[in-house]
Amino acid sequence: MRGGVAPSRVYLPKGPWTTLLDFLVERFRHVPPIVLQGRLERGEIVDEAGVPQSPDSPYTGLRWLWYYREVPQEADVPFDLPVLYRDRYLVAVDKPHFLASTPGGRYLRETALTRLRLALDMPLLSPIHRLDRDTAGVLLFCADPESRGAYQALFQSREVRKEYEALAPPSGDVVLPLLRRSLIQPRPGHFTMQEVDGEPNSETHIELVEESGGLGLFRLRPHTGRKHQLRVHMSGLGMPICNDNFYPELKAYAESDDFSRPLQLLARSIEFTDPVCGRKRRFESLRRLGGRSQASPGANGLPSRHDGLRCPATGC
């Protein structure tokens, strides 16, 4: 680990390249060749044995190279990441809006995983599932590498009960509660998703909790976990989630985030039977949508208020 970030790797297939630099320039077309050359000259790209490579190293396929990703001018996310629960197997946190779950793309150090590895001194911490960067709420990590598979299997077999909240304008044409079922597929040429005709692959139970000032507070219970599922389903019903920059229409790309306009979607709770100890687990976010009051973390990183939080081990 370096600063809480694990090294990345790239596989070298069989190919016609003469030098290693030739391959890297073609493989990473979005990176200026002078940057790749500089990293090789500084010995920042190594083989499996840790031997630094150079720009004129002859190309040899069928092996791995290792390096640390660099993200220039990564913007700070000015929100806390309270720890809701921690034991030798699990870490549950209350992720804020705008913070990515794990490193990827433009985000490296300003991610929940990297922050936690540093703050908790847990370099082997790994994600069990993910939340979209735009979504806040309960997020789980595994502290024991040997137990990670058992926890991930819960999500794959749909043995985890997840509940979300969303703020959106209600529609008089939609009778609630309802079960939204549809076939969600990637939109051609885009990273967003769309509903199309065909056998459904997604299900969300949707109900209206309360309505005020032209907005509704909705409770969403997904039975499946398709990309952007809740946002797509709410938009498809004519009730797009407030401050959604992707649905129903993709907004113009912005170089920086508007922290005053978070997506009004919150992962309120996660509940499951722990595969390691057999206890019932339930973790709840202490955040509120729409600027309503929320608990602040104490000096030790734990929430200073525990309503809705149940620790099966201690009863606290």
**Residues belonging to the active site:** 132
Number of CB atoms found within 10 A of residue 188's CB = 6
Contact 246, 260 (CB under 8 A): no
Q: Helix, strand, or coil here: 67?
A: strand
Question: Residue 180: which of 138, 238, 247 has the closest Cα?
Answer: 238
Q: Helix, strand, or coil here: 220?
A: strand
Pairing, β 136-142 against β 265-273: parallel
